[in-house]
């Protein structure tokens, strides 16, 4: 097997907002097909498609009602096959989101399970009797607020949901559930997908005794009630790893395929390592260490890499996705130079890199009026910002035209932020100094470098606020140097060096020292041996 995913750059598409081909205001598969050439020119190795399966869209596809069919809003299986064929013809891999922790409450499985306590799927979901006073069986709290339990008058029991009430949790203590999920994996692998991104994969198994979670030690009240608890019983159970072993056997039987898991837990980096430990778990995993960060400094990157020191597995890294504010605003202060520094530092990390759609354009977090918000979590937690919806607005493709080339509809599912229009791909295509051009050059540089794709890494603090990432592979040594401050900085470089890639063009290397402008940085070529 080639393990093509090691060191790859994979582009996440949020299909509802990527490109609308039929004018209904919602992105679709034909819109993605139309833009695959753009992604091939960007230089990425593959794409990750957020959920495209049948769904009532209470959580915009993360509430699946049929795992083996495409939701009509996006297209159908025939169009999916066409997408897969064109991507492969362009040399792009395709991985798809699989949401196996829970289903929609509209799924046929749940409807049957909820109908009685003695039907064929009665134990396919997590059901529990109430306490004597009628309250839920334990204190578990859901991610989106409130108890993790909802009452079913028909069964006269509670069912578990770690997210929305409309997203009941599957019961992985059932061998039938595990077998069915593995059959779903085979369905898509047989169709030709190159792998899976596995949503909240450490949430699959719950504590069978339904023990209460203990309180978490918090210095101040958290914004989300579920953070009051240490979630030791409702996620990350050891039995999940046993299921991953079964899944890995299926994946490996297909050859050149991969799995990447989404990990959310109290210690995300340690759990990320655990879930990607060879030889029979996930190929790779990513955690929310960088995604949850509200400040970017050398320690953010050093702590991530130090947590992986000596690990046998392979990490994945990203600065943004559909669940968090866009990184140019959240981490980069909406400063173009800082945004480029962060993108370059990301590309110098050891691991698989994920880019979220629009990051190559440096799109800032979008503004969405309250009355146009669609995400239930953004609405419930509203304090003036758009939260997840601010990262999900339509992709700007053209300077002119309705909806900046995303759609011909008068109104789109989320509104276009007009501040994004000047950053449209069309405008940046023609600008040699644009973020799009910069990102293409950066990805191409990474792809040419064995040290960046596959080499060892040694992070270090070179000076106050200056990060160094020393990357080594047989025949090549590179040193990424990054000034995270708004002031000029300098760092000593031991031995001869040459600038191979500069962020601003104002970086100067002289007499064993590199001078860096504010938010400046460079990738230096160094001799293979040396400190």
Among the listed residues 194, 262, 265, 283, the single catalytic one is 262
CA atoms of 516 and 278, how far apart (whole Å) = 40
- % of the chain with per-residue pLDDT over 90: 94
Cβ neighbors of 374 (< 8 A, separation 6 or more) are 60, 389, 413, 414
Task: Count the Cβ atoms, other than its own, within 10 Å of residue 85.
Answer: 12
Average pLDDT, the chain: 96
Question: For position 359, what pLDDT does the model report?
Answer: 98
Helix H or strand E encompassing 473: strand 466-473
For 193, phi and psi rounded to 5 degrees? -65, 155
Band of pLDDT at residue 405, cut at 50, 70 and 90 = very high
Predicted confidence (pLDDT) per residue in 292-351, tens digit: 999 999 999 999 999 999 999 999 999 999 999 999 999 999 999 999 999 999 999 999
Q: Which residues pair with 53 in a beta bridge?
A: 70
Q: Which residues pair with 352 in a beta bridge?
A: 316
Band of pLDDT at residue 247, cut at 50, 70 and 90 = very high
Predicted confidence (pLDDT) per residue in 471-498, tens digit: 999 999 999 999 999 999 999 998 899 9
Predicted confidence (pLDDT) per residue in 61-71, tens digit: 999 999 999 99
Under 8 Å between Cβ of 32 and 83: yes
Which ranges in 402-514 belong to alpha helices (H)?
A: 425-429, 435-448, 450-454
Note if 105 is an active site residue: no
Cβ neighbors of 419 (< 8 A, separation 6 or more) are 364, 366, 367
In the predicted model, what is the mean pLDDT of residues 196-203? 98
CA atoms of 17 and 420, how far apart (whole Å) = 13
With H, G, I as helix, E, B as strand and everything else as coil, classify residue 387: helix
Instruction: Give the CA count within 13 Å in the CB-facing half-sphere of 62.
Output: 19
Give the residue among 240, 304, 254 at the shortest CA–CA distance from 95: 254
Task: Tell me how far CA of residue 395 lies from CA of 20, 55, 364, 367, in angstroms.
Answer: 10, 23, 12, 14
Strands, sheet with 476-483, edge to edge from the N-terminal-most edge strand: 456-463, 466-473, 476-483, 521-525, 498-502
Under 8 Å between Cβ of 286 and 263: yes
Task: Tell me how far CA of residue 378 lies from CA of 28, 414, 419, 443, 471, in angstroms.
Answer: 23, 13, 21, 33, 40
Band of pLDDT at residue 144, cut at 50, 70 and 90 = confident
In the predicted model, what is the mean pLDDT of residues 114-138? 98
pLDDT at 425 over 90: yes
In the predicted model, what is the mean pLDDT of residues 149-170? 98
Under 8 Å between Cβ of 189 and 176: no
CA atoms of 170 and 175, how far apart (whole Å) = 11
Predicted confidence (pLDDT) per residue in 455-467, tens digit: 999 999 999 999 9
Question: For position 520, what pLDDT does the model report?
Answer: 98
Among the listed residues 20, 59, 71, 199, the single catalytic one is 199
Least confident of 138-152, 179-193, 295-309, 376-390: 376-390
Q: Which residue has the tokens 């996930």?
A: 282
CA atoms of 468 and 483, how far apart (whole Å) = 9
Note if 199 is an active site residue: yes
**What's the token pair of residue 64?**
């699946």
Band of pLDDT at residue 530, cut at 50, 70 and 90 = low
The DSSP code for 106 is: T
Question: For position 383, what pLDDT does the model report?
Answer: 84
Question: For position 72, what pLDDT does the model report?
Answer: 98
pLDDT at 531 over 70: no
In the predicted model, what is the mean pLDDT of residues 4-8? 98
| Architecture of the domain defined by 456-525 | Sandwich (2.60)
Task: Tell me how far CA of residue 183 lies from CA of 76, 190, 276, in angstroms.
Answer: 20, 10, 22
Q: Which residues pair with 170 in a beta bridge?
A: 125
Cβ neighbors of 384 (< 8 A, separation 6 or more) are none
Structure-model confidence comparison of residues 519 and 227, the more confident one: 519
């Amino acid at each position: 097997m080639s393990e093509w995913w090691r060191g790859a750059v994979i582009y996440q598409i949020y299909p509802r907002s990527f490109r609308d081909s039929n004018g209904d205001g919602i992105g679709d598969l034909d819109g993605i097909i139309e833009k695959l050439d753009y992604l091939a020119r960007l230089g990425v190795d593959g794409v990750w498609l957020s959920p495209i399966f049948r769904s009532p869209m209470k959580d915009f596809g993360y509430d699946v009602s049929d795992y083996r069919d495409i939701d009509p809003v996006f297209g159908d299986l025939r169009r999916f096959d066409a997408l897969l064929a064109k991507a492969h013809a362009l040399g792009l891999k395709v991985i798809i989101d699989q949401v196996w922790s829970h289903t929609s409450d509209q799924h046929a499985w749940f409807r049957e399970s909820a109908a009685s306590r003695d039907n064929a799927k009665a134990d396919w979901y997590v059901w529990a009797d109430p306490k004597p006073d009628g309250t839920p069986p334990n204190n578990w709290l859901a991610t989106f607020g409130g108890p993790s339990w909802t009452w079913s008058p028909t069964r006269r029991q509670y069912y578990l949901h770690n997210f929305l009430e409309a997203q009941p949790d599957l019961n992985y203590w059932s061998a039938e559930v595990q077998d069915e999920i593995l059959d779903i994996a085979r369905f898509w692998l047989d169709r030709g997908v190159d792998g899976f991104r596995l949503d909240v994969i450490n949430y699959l198994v719950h504590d069978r005794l339904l023990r209460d979670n203990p309180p978490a030690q918090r210095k101040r009240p958290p914004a989300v009630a579920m953070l009051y608890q240490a979630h030791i019983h409702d996620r990350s159970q050891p039995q999940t790893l046993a299921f991953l072993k079964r899944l890995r056997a299926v994946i490996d039987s297909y050859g050149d395929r991969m799995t990447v898991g989404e990990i959310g837990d109290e210690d995300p980096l340690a759990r990320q390592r655990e879930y990607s430990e060879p030889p029979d778990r996930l190929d790779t995993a990513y955690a929310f260490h960088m995604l949850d960060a509200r400040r970017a400094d050398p320690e953010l990157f050093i702590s991530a890499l130090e947590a992986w020191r000596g690990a046998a597995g392979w990490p994945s890294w990203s600065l943004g996705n559909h669940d968090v504010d866009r990184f140019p605003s959240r981490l980069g202060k909406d400063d173009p130079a800082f945004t480029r520094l962060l993108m370059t530092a990301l590309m110098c990390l050891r691991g698989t890199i994920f880019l979220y759609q629009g990051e190559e354009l440096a799109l800032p977090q979008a503004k969405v009026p309250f009355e146009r918000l669609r995400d239930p979590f953004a609405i419930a937690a509203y304090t003036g910002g758009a939260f997840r919806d601010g990262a999900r607005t339509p992709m700007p493709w053209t300077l002119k035209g309705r909806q900046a080339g995303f759609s011909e509809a008068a109104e789109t599912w989320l509104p276009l932020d007009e501040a994004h229009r000047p950053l449209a791909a069309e405008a940046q295509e023609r600008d040699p100094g644009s973020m799009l051009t910069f990102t293409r050059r950066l990805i191409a540089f990474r792809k040419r470098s064995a040290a960046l794709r596959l080499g060892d890494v040694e992070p270090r603090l070179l000076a106050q606020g200056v990060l160094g990432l020393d990357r080594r592979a047989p025949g090549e040594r590179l040193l990424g140097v990054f000034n995270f401050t708004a002031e000029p900085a300098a760092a000593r470089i031991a031995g001869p060096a040459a600038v191979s890639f500069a962020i601003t063009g104002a970086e100067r290397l002289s007499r064993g020292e590199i001078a860096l402008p504010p938010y400046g940085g460079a990738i230096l070529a160094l001799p293979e041996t040396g400190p």
